[in-house]
Amino acid sequence: MTTEPTIFVSSDLGYGDCGKGTIEEFLLRFFGIKMSIRFCGAHQAGHHLVQPDGRVHCASQFGSGTFLPAVEHLISNRSLCEPNALLGEEAHLRHNNIADALDRLIIDPEAIVILPWHELHNRVLELSRADKRNGSTGLGVGQAVFDYEGGFSVTIQDLFRPRSDLESRLTSMRERLTKMTAIEVEQIKDPENRKHAQYLLDRYKINKTVRKLLSLYSSFINNPRVRIESTRKILDRLRQNQQSLIMSQAQGILLDRKFGFTPHITKTKVTYHPAFELLGLAADKNAWPGYKIEKVGIKRCYDTRHGAGPFVSEDAGMKEFVTEAQNGLIDWVGEFRVGHFDLLATRYAIAANDGVDWLALTCLDQLTGWPTIKVCVSYKYTGPTDALNKYFVWEPQPDGTAKILAFKNPDCERGPDLAQILKHCQPDDMVEFDSWPQNIRDAKSWADLPPAAQKFVSWLQTKLGLPIRLLSVGPTHDNKFFIKI
């Protein structure tokens, strides 16, 4: 496709779980790229890497190239870091016979540190919402972001401060967050949820002490294998050497802090914007002379969502036909939900990302043997229509309902009313396609696909108005190939 140095920016066009990890790993291998950089999010990310030899790893703070011996990964200053979880992930990688993963991980000194009390406050807040949960991962990422924005934070470089200074800062953070949490516990009305929240508060007070944290952080920063280096230096070196790289996203655009459906969102920006800001491209589009910049839209052939939030095309009956070895019920997030390909939501995600250059379509093999493949191309809305003009292109129907044809430009301020509207929507018009009976995981080219699969993919390319260049027909990097329709 290209021999010139390239920056690939991964862009999940759904609610996450679209296959960023496996697509990034394929690109790293195919183009011989030696660096990936996480430009948003934290350890709530889960990039599943399935190897042909059966090994599996959920890359959270490590990169999608962790199974590749020479590939490095940077946790940038736009990301967050949880040292204890990071060390736990590294132990899992050693169990997978990856002994040098920590040597190939670099952490920016300005990366925000997620503290145990961020996690505590996050979980108690979610319990306080009872049956109206946001769908939080319960890992404290959002609270850590809010603290940083409010001037209360600890960064990786703070861990190198004199012990007395760090102890004072951690003590202050612990007292403030546990006090906030105690207030939340008292306000929980449901007896079972309050009991659970009080248990968490008591347990964290006993087990998550400042002394224990100081010991953990001291061991972490004094580990000679832990590499600390600024994002700016890494980028300057890559640019000077004309090396390609991948900017790795966490979560999906439909969960973005600005463009997602409040309150069921992450608290970080997950569109391409923070990646371009890191690269200097937001201020100067010529900041990387001689480079190609490619925003890669990554999307499943059907839709999924973990946990609470609007999901118009959801069809619980589809679970019968979907095999999800790496996804399922997660304690705090909730159940793994499945639905039909939502053309409206996908177009909206592309618009929120200011477009993508090409698409990688994943999980095509999962459609094998389905009774019918369906794509949702309009919504039926049954609620009051007062706010529809703000967000949608729509038509009134004779029965008093509304047919929603498209999302409007995502530039407008998006409030919680948008999520409420979507919760009162259901699929209206559906375009149907025949499936195919044969296993397509051995396909290596467009010509190897059955005509029904070719028809479906070609139709999606036409309707999205973007080239689909990469197909995934299985879980490993061997199950992917470039196409040109």
Residues 324 and 419 in one domain: yes
The CATH number covering residue 44 comes to 3.40.440.10
Distance (Å) of CA 421 to CA 261, 389, 403, 412, 472? 10, 12, 12, 16, 33
**What pLDDT score does 327 carry?**
53
CB atoms within 10 A of CB 54: 7
Q: 249 in a domain, yes or no? A: yes
Pairing of strands 468-472, 358-362: parallel
3-state secondary structure of 133: coil
Q: 336 in a domain, yes or no? A: yes
Residues 323 and 395 in one domain: yes
- How confident is the chain (485 residues) per 10-residue block, as mean pLDDT? 87 96 98 98 92 95 96 98 97 95 98 96 90 83 95 96 97 96 94 93 92 97 97 98 98 95 93 98 96 98 94 93 63 85 98 98 97 98 93 96 95 84 97 98 98 99 99 98 95
The CATH number covering residue 180 comes to 1.10.300.10
Q: Could you say which of 221, 247, 282 is where a domain stops?
A: 221
365: its two tokens:
């093999």
Distance, in Å, from the CA atom of 253 to the CA atom of 384, rounded to the nearest integer, reads 27
Distance, in Å, from the CA atom of 465 to the CA atom of 485, rounded to the nearest integer, reads 13
Residues 238 and 97 in one domain: yes
Positive or negative, the CA dihedral 25, 304, 479, 89 is: positive
39: its two tokens:
């430009």
Residues 38 and 123 in one domain: no
pTM of the complete model:
0.95
Q: 306 in a domain, yes or no? A: no
Q: 471 in a domain, yes or no? A: no
**What pLDDT score does 330 carry?**
53
**What pLDDT score does 140 carry?**
93
Distance, in Å, from the CA atom of 442 to the CA atom of 50, rounded to the nearest integer, reads 16
**Are residues 133 and 157 in contact, defined by beta-carbon separation less than 8 angstroms?**
no
Residues 168 and 84 in one domain: no
Residues 52 and 148 in one domain: no
Q: 376 in a domain, yes or no? A: yes
Residues 327 and 281 in one domain: no
3-state secondary structure of 338: strand
Residues 216 and 232 in one domain: no
| Residue among 419, 91, 484, 37 at smallest CA distance from 235 | 37
Bridge partners of residue 433, in order along the sequence = 373
Residues 327 and 371 in one domain: yes
**What pLDDT score does 334 carry?**
79
Distance, in Å, from the CA atom of 203 to the CA atom of 377, rounded to the nearest integer, reads 49
Domain interval for residue 86: 6-108+228-299
Q: What are phi and psi of 64, to 5 degrees?
A: -70, -10
Taking every pair of C-alpha atoms in the chain, what is the biggest distance, in angstroms?
71
**What pLDDT score does 37 carry?**
98
Distance, in Å, from the CA atom of 204 to the CA atom of 49, rounded to the nearest integer, reads 32
Q: 479 in a domain, yes or no? A: no
| Residue among 424, 311, 452, 248 at smallest CA distance from 368 | 452
Residues 234 and 178 in one domain: no
Positive or negative, the CA dihedral 142, 146, 149, 153 is: negative
Task: For residue 401, give every residue at least 6 positions away whose Cβ sits within 8 Å of its Cβ, in sequence order, or none.
Answer: 380, 381, 382
Q: 129 in a domain, yes or no? A: yes
Q: 103 in a domain, yes or no? A: yes
Q: Could you say which of 202, 221, 240 is where a domain stops?
A: 221
DSSP code of residue 334:
B
| Residue among 85, 33, 31 at smallest CA distance from 62 | 85
Q: Could you say which of 247, 272, 299 is where a domain stops?
A: 299
Number of independent structural domains in the chain: 3
**What pLDDT score does 329 carry?**
47
The CATH number covering residue 374 comes to 3.90.170.10
Distance, in Å, from the CA atom of 348 to the CA atom of 383, rounded to the nearest integer, reads 21
Residues 350 and 446 in one domain: yes
Residues 320 and 460 in one domain: yes
